[in-house]
Amino acid sequence: MADIVNMIVEEMVAQLQDNTSLGLVVRAPMAEHTEGVQEGSVAAVGPNAPDDKEWRHEINTDRLQLGMLGLSHRPWKRRFYVRVMRVYIGSDRETAEEDFGGLMREIEAVMYGTAWAVGPDDNGERLSGCTHLVRSQEEYEGGETEYIGRGMVWVEFHTD
C-alpha cells in the first residue's frame, strides 16, 4: 500500500541523487550508513525530524479554516528533513567550509526549485502546492587536515 509520506521520501531521495553532488542518498536513519566513512558525503531523508518534537506532520489548519471547497481529504503539512554529512581529508578549513556551503545550496535549490509530482497515494492524498524550505543549518568540526561538515534542511509539503 503506497502512502504519500513514503512516496515523498522516495522522490526526495531520487531528486537529490540525480541533481546534487552528494555521494550517497538514503532513507533515514543515517547512522548505519556513516560508520567507516573515510571521505565523501552521505545524506539521509526522512519524515518528521527525530530531534525536534515540533517538526511533525500536522493538519493544515489555515486551509481547513478557510473551508477549502472540494477537498476530499484533510489538508496536511507534511514535514521532512535532509541530514547531510561530508568528510574532508587533506583540506584546509576554508576550502571545506566553502565546498560544504556549496553542497548545502545545491540541496536547498533542489528542495525549493523542483516541481514535485507526487501522488495521489492509495488514500487519495496528493501534493497541493509548492515546497516550503523552512530552515537550513550547517556546522563544522575537525582539526588541521580533516574536517566534517554537517547540515540539516527542514522541508514542508502541503497535501490534501
On whether the CB atoms of residues 26 and 45 are closer than 8 A, the answer is yes
* Structure confidence at residue 100 as a pLDDT band (50, 70, 90): very high
Checking if the pLDDT of 101 tops 70, the result is yes
- Give 20-64 pLDDT, tens digit per residue: 999 889 888 766 555 555 567 888 898 987 677 888 888 887 766
pLDDT band at 132 (very low <50, low <70, confident <90, very high): confident
Residue 130 has pLDDT above 70, yes or no: no
- Residue 44 exposed, middle or buried by CB count within 10 Å (0-12, 13-18, 19+): buried
Q: Please, are residues 8 and 78 in contact by the beta-carbon 8 Å criterion?
A: yes
The domain limits of the chain are: 4-149
Model confidence, pTM:
0.86
Task: Let me know: does 128 contact 136? Beta carbons within 8 Å.
Answer: no
